[in-house]
Amino acid sequence: MSTPAGGTSTGRGRRPGGPDTRGAILSAARKSFAGKGFDRTTIRAVAADAGVDPALVHHYFGSKDDLFLSALEIPIDPREAIPSVFAVGLDGAGERLLRIFLSVWDDQQARLPLLALVRNALTTEAAASLLRSGMFRLIFEPIAELLGSDDARLRAQLVASQLSGLVITRYVLRLEPLASLPADDVVAWVAPNLQRYLTAELSR
Amino acid sequence: MSTPAGGTSTGRGRRPGGPDTRGAILSAARKSFAGKGFDRTTIRAVAADAGVDPALVHHYFGSKDDLFLSALEIPIDPREAIPSVFAVGLDGAGERLLRIFLSVWDDQQARLPLLALVRNALTTEAAASLLRSGMFRLIFEPIAELLGSDDARLRAQLVASQLSGLVITRYVLRLEPLASLPADDVVAWVAPNLQRYLTAELSR
């Protein structure tokens, strides 16, 4: 809405939307997400910190969710990937979900910003909200919605428990042999357990 | 081995082994475990920091493993609890293990020092060794030994992945409804998955 003092709203006085601007926005976004968590980060404050108009943040990165995913540099968009897992039915959904998870986490480049998120998120209560309101909301709430049953939220959280435990043991602590186990073997061991959380009827 | 300058090895000159001494040793131990990790913590250095003879540390707390467990204030000793889980066979071992896990982590008092350990351990590579060489070694290596099979180490780590994921989702992030789910329901959902890691034959 406002322009820097002495600037104009059009022409050369406006801050150009080049790579530096994108970088400045991402840098401000990362700082805010890490420092304030997800809920208390606003597009407006990120824009102010980057010295740009909020409209430019929306123009380049879309919504706050989009900005969050861009800041994490996740190579796939969970808002497309998760529905694709369930689009062909519940059969094999555990394996399809796990293969997407492994494709991201087994990628050394993709893993780094996620590892930083996990490490920070567990350290402070404020930063834990980043994992809850950001990451988990974008991945596990859609799973619960797609499952649709009364206990869908719990089932999605149990899936989350197994996957976050894989993050801890395979990627953070790097316990061997699990850390070096080929993805196909991880799938053979873990996918049936995920599938059980998604679809099993409890015999109680 | 040595006594403070001017002290004698017997009588009133010796530092008494009262509650203050125990507390000083525990405090020094916690500081060392948190700062240096497990491997680089020595009884000798803990004793020096607490201003006591190393023999007194051994006298009160036994081995370094004992001191570690005392510093964490874990209400049960995994070196007794783990073998008891497997003493009556593999049938139901997943459930017995999970019930011990829940009895500790569902106890608000017992949980606090463990939560601190987990939070620290994930933050720095040095502190991660505390979880690996301390906690995981005392819990999951005995499980691997008791299983005895070729893939026992991997099976124990998969169990570790599910249990550490429960720590993250139920106790650190406190996702609802999982965080408030009664222990019996957690067992109904999770124990069969642990059991599968312990005993399932992979059909590959």
Q: pLDDT tens for residues A70-87?
A: 988 888 899 999 999 999
**Rounded to 5 degrees, what are φ and ψ at B29?**
-65, -45
Region at A41 (left for phi over 0; alpha for psi -120 to 50; beta for the rest): beta
pLDDT at A26: 92
Residue B197 in contact with partner chain A when CB distance is under 8 A: yes
The share of chain A scoring above pLDDT 70, in percent, equals: 86
Q: What percent helix, strand, coil does chain A show, rounded to 5?
A: 75, 0, 25
CB pairs under 8 A between A and B: 111
A164, B168 contact by CB (below 8 A):
yes
Judge residue A70's burial from the number of C-beta atoms within 10 Å of its C-beta, 0-12 exposed, 13-18 middle, 19 or more buried: middle
pLDDT at A10: 41
pLDDT at B57: 95
B118, A123 contact by CB (below 8 A):
no
pLDDT at B126: 62
Say if residue A8's pLDDT is above 50.
Answer: no
CB contact under 8 A, B189 and A202: yes
Contacts of B169 in chain A (CB under 8 A): 157, 160-161, 164
**What 3-state class would DSSP assign to B180?**
helix
pLDDT at B124: 67
The CA distance from B156 to the nearest CA of chain A, in Å, is: 10
pLDDT tens for the 204 residues of chain B, in order: 343 433 334 434 445 556 689 999 999 998 888 788 888 899 999 999 999 999 999 999 999 999 999 988 888 899 999 999 999 999 999 999 999 999 999 998 888 888 877 777 677 666 677 788 888 889 999 999 999 999 999 999 999 999 999 999 999 889 999 999 999 999 999 999 999 999 998 865
- Number of CB atoms found within 10 A of residue A44's CB: 12
Residue A101 in contact with partner chain B when CB distance is under 8 A: no
Q: pLDDT tens for residues A38-60?
A: 888 999 999 999 999 999 999 99
Residue B180 in contact with partner chain A when CB distance is under 8 A: no
CB contact under 8 A, B123 and A122: yes
Q: pLDDT tens for residues A94-150?
A: 999 999 999 999 998 888 888 877 777 677 666 677 788 888 889 999 999 999 999
pLDDT at A125: 66
Q: pLDDT tens for residues A15-24?
A: 555 668 999 9
Mean pLDDT of the region A25-36: 87
Contacts of A158 in chain B (CB under 8 A): 178, 189-190
CB contact under 8 A, B119 and A122: yes
- ipTM of this predicted structure: 0.84
**What 3-state class would DSSP assign to B181?**
coil
Residues 6+ apart with CB under 8 A from A121: A127, A128, A130, A131, B173
Say if residue A6's pLDDT is above 50.
Answer: no
Output the CA torsion sign for A100, B155, B199, A158.
Answer: negative
CB contact under 8 A, B157 and A172: no
Most A CBs within 10 A among B133, B172, B173, hence the mutation to make, goes to B173
Residues 6+ apart with CB under 8 A from B165: A160, A161, A162, A163, A164, A165, A166, A168
- Number of CB atoms found within 10 A of residue A85's CB: 22
pLDDT at B16: 53
Distance between CA atoms of residues A93 and B89, nearest Å: 33
Say if residue A152's pLDDT is above 90.
Answer: yes
Distance between CA atoms of residues A72 and A90, nearest Å: 29
Residue A160 in contact with partner chain B when CB distance is under 8 A: yes
CB contact under 8 A, B197 and A193: yes
Predicted model pTM: 0.84
pLDDT at B12: 40
